[in-house]
Chains A and B, each alone.
Chain A
Amino acid sequence: MQIRSRAALAAALVGALALSACAPGGASSSEEDDSNTIHIVGFAVPEAANKNIATEFTKTPEGEGVKFQTSYGPSGDQSRAVAAGLKADYVHFSVPTDVTRLVDEGLVADDWDAGDNKGVVSRSVVVFGVRDGNPKNIKTWADLVKPGVEIVTPNPASSGAARWNALAAYGQVISDGGTEKEATEYVNKFFKNVVSLPSSGRDATTAFLGGTGDVLMAYENEAILAAQNDEGFEYVLPETSLLIENAGAILEDASEPSQAWLDFVLSDEGQKQFALTGFRPIRDDVDYGGTVEGAADPSNPFPEVGTLLTVDEDFGGWDEVSTKFFDEENGLIFEAILGAGLSLE
Chain B
Amino acid sequence: MTSTEIAAVRPARTPRRSGPRSTLTRSSGLGLGIAMIWFSALVLIPLAAVVVTAIDGGWDVFWTTITNGQTAAAIKLTVFTAAGVTAVNVVMGPLIAWVLVRDRFWGKSVLEVLIDIPFALPTIVAGLVLLSLYGTDSPIGIDIANQRPAVFLAFLFVTLPFVVRMVQPVLEELEHDVEEAAASLGASRFTTFRRIILPSLTPAITAGAALSFARGVSEYGSLVLLSGNLPFKTEVTSVRILSSIENDNVAGAAAVATVLLAISLAVIVVLDLIQRRVAARG
Contact = CB atoms under 8 A, between A and B. Distances in A.
B246 A12 contact: no
Nearest to B238: A199
Contact of B231 (A196, A198, A341): A341
Contact of B224 (A80, A101, A198, A212): A198
B20 to A, nearest CB: 5
Interface stretch (B27-35, B113-121, B199-207, B260-268): B27-35
Nearest to A97: B248
Interface in B254-272: none
Interface residues of A, number: 39
Contact of A101 (B19, B230, B231, B248): B248
B75 interface: no
Interface string B2-26: 0000000000010000011001101
Nearest to A194: B230
A345 interface: yes
A203 interface: yes
A203 B224 contact: yes
Contacts of B135: 210-212
Contacts of B128: 206, 210
B279 to A, nearest CB: 32
A198 B233 contact: no
Interface in B133-159: 135-137, 145-146
A342 interface: yes
A213 B225 CA distance: 12
Contacts of B163: none
Given A160-B246, A212-B135, A338-B69, A198 B34 contact: no
Contact of A80 (B132, B245, B252): B245
A210 B247 contact: no
Given A2-B20, A157-B243, A157-B247, A198 B225 contact: yes
A214 B31 CA distance: 59
A6 B132 CA distance: 55
B229 interface: yes
A132 B51 CA distance: 49
Given A157-B246, A212-B135, A344 B233 contact: yes
A291 to B, nearest CB: 33
A101 B248 CA distance: 9
Contact of B137 (A80, A195, A198, A211): A211
Contacts of B13: 1
A233 interface: no
Contacts of B145: 195-196, 211-212
A206 B225 contact: yes
Contact of B34 (A12, A197, A340, A345): A12
Contact of B249 (A16, A210, A328): A328
B136 A211 contact: yes
B70 interface: yes
Contacts of A197: 228-231, 235
B243 A207 contact: no
A155 B131 CA distance: 18
Contacts of A16: 34
Contacts of B182: none
A198 B235 CA distance: 10
A337 interface: yes
B136 A158 contact: no
B230 to A, nearest CB: 6
Interface string A275-286: 000000000000
A326 interface: yes
A317 interface: no
A198 B228 contact: yes
Interface in A170-206: 194-199, 203, 206
Given A199-B224, A212-B146, A5 B245 contact: no
A117 B69 CA distance: 42
B242 interface: yes
20 contacts: A1-B13, A2-B20, A5-B24, A5-B26, A12-B27, A80-B245, A157-B247, A158-B229, A195-B146, A196-B230, A197-B230, A198-B224, A211-B137, A212-B131, A213-B136, A328-B249, A338-B232, A341-B231, A341-B233, A344-B230
Pairs A-B, 5 closest by C-beta atoms:
A341-B231, A211-B137, A196-B228, A211-B136, A341-B232
Interface of B: 13, 19-20, 23-24, 26-28, 30-31, 34, 69-70, 73, 128, 131-132, 135-137, 145-146, 224-225, 228-233, 235, 239, 242-249, 252
Given A211-B136, A342-B69, A344-B232, 6 more contacts: A6-B27, A158-B242, A194-B230, A199-B239, A207-B228, A340-B231
